[in-house]
């Protein structure tokens, strides 16, 4: 495939050859000769619209907004958007400037046809067709950029089927129905995500990009681990790299560049902490490997996560549950209070999906109905080696999944004759502190059958990387979580009584809470520095595949 630049140039040459041959200079927005009438331009827009939209059709999973552009022109009877009273609206130049700065959002200006629009704007005496074409292309660029800022450039499920969040909104296309082109361009400013995290990512993206233009990566030479008291050129490399990455701020204090002192150790610990490495203050092989990750790689990682933020609603509910999968934590935001705890998430072969749900109830002393997949993959092999496994672990087995199915004696079943394909029994584990769900199950009904729950395996919360479950999310402090979501309501009394009675009870929440299960690999920390997290589910390579052309210059092939 040729480069994006070549594709766009070919399109422009075929459809708009006169525009592309014009000199590249801005002209006064008043026409030098008698201009075409708006009626003539409307007729040409009507004739050229379908052709132009087809020429700028989506490719490679990009979610462009051409249908909305078509509908907007129809609604205005094909009258031009950028030309009024025989004058090109100056806001088109502002639009081009904004589109050329789209790289600050991790987007590629080439995708918004800025070169092509500038070619049209440079024509001294444009024809009726050229004006119509320019009007449509500028509107396609406007609509596409508005969509991309609001909803993301790409269809997430075409990249990663485990990313199941719906598009944030369709309100972005309202700008196409505003009264003037000026209003449309000004509206772009409110469409990007409003979260502080997004804005911090943008600043670091700009910083890294500027740094790449000014200087090369400072690499730390491999060798024996470096620690406090060491001296030499490798220590100087370490210090310089930490300065380059922002872990050491510029200071007028004189230091011995070659000496590993306490200040350098503190900076290295900060670096290790934000890269989820053991913060021992020594530069071993893993730390040096992380230090030497190229700035260009960090730029791409930030870009992937800016896109992920655009796949989220631009504004989040003040009361919400935030399951941060790459941080192995659950944050409960409720009534201006924050409750945070560790979590265990799905192992890589049983990924916890990304989606949004609504928590409506909880269950105390739950009975665990074993999902069929876990029964075939986990229970059946254990039963084939130990026929008493169900009795020892407090399970019951039923003849089928239907209501009223008969309970069976598991010791009378020849498990070695059963295959995963023929296993149709239903398994349930009795309510007990030692059952897989512990004392609590927190429900937000969803097609994935994912929920939050207690667990008897408390030792797993001592681990740094906690991807051990079959997909559901285990909570470190389920009782604290249950108290917080039922606080100051009769549901709290209902919950505590059921725990005391050891009864299996469904407790409706006094306030339903949105639940976000989110996967981000670059996140700002409390100090405004970036955390680069382990990509436990290998989702970044999927983003690389979809967005990889960002690393190419316009003249290169992809």
For the annotated catalytic residues, the residue numbers are 453, 472
Q: Give the angle 133-138-140 at the CA atoms, nearest 5°.
A: 95
Q: Name the phi and psi angles at 62, rounded to 5.
A: -75, 140
* Token couple for 404: 């009223």
Q: Which residues pair with 84 in a beta bridge?
A: 87
By three-state DSSP, how is residue 237 classified? Answer: helix
* Token couple for 435: 């059952």
* Token couple for 386: 């130990």
Helix axis angle, 114-121 to 91-100, nearest 10°: 150
Q: Name the phi and psi angles at 449, rounded to 5.
A: 55, 40
Give the Cα separation of 23 and 26 in Å (integer). Answer: 9
* Token couple for 62: 């990009």
Residue closest to 13 by CA, chosen among 115, 108, 142? 115
Q: Any idea what DSSP says for residue 290?
A: H
Q: Which residues 6+ apart lie within 8 Å of 452 measured at CB?
A: 321, 323, 330, 359, 441, 442, 472, 473, 474, 475, 478, 481, 515
- 3-state DSSP helix/strand/coil % of the chain, to nearest 5: 45, 15, 40
Q: Any idea what DSSP says for residue 118?
A: H
In the chain the first and final C-alpha atoms are separated, in Å, by 6
* Token couple for 179: 């009264």
**100 Ramachandran zone, left/alpha/beta (phi>0; psi -120 to 50):** alpha
Task: Dump the DSSP string for 332-390.
Answer: EEETTEEEEEEEEEE-GGGPPPBEEEEEEEEEES--EE--HHHIIIIIHHHHHH-TTHH
By three-state DSSP, how is residue 7 classified? Answer: helix
* Token couple for 421: 């394909």
Q: Which residues 6+ apart lie within 8 Å of 451 measured at CB?
A: 441, 442, 443, 444, 472, 473
Q: Name the phi and psi angles at 275, rounded to 5.
A: -110, 15
Rounded to a whole number of angstroms, the CA Rg of the chain reads 29
Q: Which helix (H) or strand (E) holds 414?
A: none
* Cα distances (Å, whole numbers) of residue 443 to 252, 392, 446, 453: 56, 28, 9, 9
Cα–chain center distance at 373: 28
Residue closest to 135 by CA, chosen among 58, 80, 88, 92? 80
């Amino acid at each position: 495939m040729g480069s994006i630049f070549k594709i766009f140039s070919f399109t422009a040459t075929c459809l708009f050859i006169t525009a592309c041959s014009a000199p590249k200079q801005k002209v006064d927005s008043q026409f030098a000769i008698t201009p075409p009438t708006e009626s003539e331009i409307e007729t040409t827009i009507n004739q050229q619209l379908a052709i132009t939209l087809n020429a700028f059709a989506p490719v490679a999973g990009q979610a462009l907004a051409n249908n909305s552009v078509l509908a907007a022109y129809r609604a205005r009877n094909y009258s031009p958007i950028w030309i009024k009273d025989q004058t090109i609206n100056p806001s088109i130049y502002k639009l081009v400037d904004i589109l050329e700065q789209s790289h600050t959002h991790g987007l590629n200006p080439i995708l918004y046809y800025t070169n092509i629009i500038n070619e049209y704007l440079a024509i001294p005496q444009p024809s009726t067709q050229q004006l119509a074409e320019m009007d449509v292309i500028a509107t396609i660029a406007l609509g596409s950029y508005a969509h991309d800022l609001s909803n993301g450039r790409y269809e997430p499920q075409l990249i990663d089927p485990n990313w199941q969040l719906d598009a944030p909104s369709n309100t972005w296309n309202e700008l196409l129905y505003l009264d003037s082109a000026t209003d449309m361009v000004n509206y772009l400013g409110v469409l990007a995500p409003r979260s502080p995290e997004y804005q911090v990512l943008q600043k670091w993206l700009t910083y890294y990009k500027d740094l790449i233009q000014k200087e090369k990566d400072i690499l730390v030479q491999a060798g024996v681990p470096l620690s406090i008291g060491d001296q030499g050129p490798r220590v100087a490399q370490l210090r310089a790299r930490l300065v380059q990455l922002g872990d050491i701020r510029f200071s007028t204090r004189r230091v011995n560049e070659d000496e590993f002192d306490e200040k350098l150790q503190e900076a290295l610990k900060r670096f290790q902490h934000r890269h989820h490495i053991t913060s021992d203050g020594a530069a071993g092989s893993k730390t040096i490997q992380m230090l030497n990750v190229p700035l260009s790689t960090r730029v791409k990682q930030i870009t992937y996560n800016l896109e992920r933020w655009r796949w989220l609603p631009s504004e989040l509910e003040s009361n919400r549950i935030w399951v941060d999968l790459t941080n192995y934590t659950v944050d409960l935001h409720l009534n201006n209070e924050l409750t945070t705890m560790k979590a265990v998430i799905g192992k890589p072969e049983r990924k916890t999906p990304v989606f949004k749900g609504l928590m409506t109830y909880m269950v105390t002393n739950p009975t665990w109905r074993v999902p069929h997949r876990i029964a075939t993959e986990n229970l059946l092999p254990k039963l084939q080696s130990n026929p008493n496994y169900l009795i020892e672990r407090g399970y019951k087995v039923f003849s089928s999944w239907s209501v009223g199915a008969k309970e069976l004696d598991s010791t009378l079943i020849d498990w070695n004759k059963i295959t995963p394909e023929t296993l149709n029994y239903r398994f349930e584990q009795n309510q007990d502190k030692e059952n897989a769900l512990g004392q609590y199950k927190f429900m937000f009904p969803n097609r994935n059958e994912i929920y939050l729950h207690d667990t008897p395996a408390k030792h797993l919360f001592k681990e740094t990387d906690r991807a051990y479950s079959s997909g559901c999310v285990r909570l470190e402090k389920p009782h604290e979580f249950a108290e917080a979501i039922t606080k100051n309501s009769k549901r709290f009394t209902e919950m505590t009584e059921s725990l005391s009675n050891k009864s299996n009870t469904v407790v409706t929440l006094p306030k339903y809470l949105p639940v976000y299960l989110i996967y981000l690999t670059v996140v700002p920390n409390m100090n405004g520095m970036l955390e680069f997290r382990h990509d436990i589910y290998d989702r970044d390579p999927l983003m690389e595949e979809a967005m990889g052309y960002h690393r190419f210059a316009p003249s290169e092939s992809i």
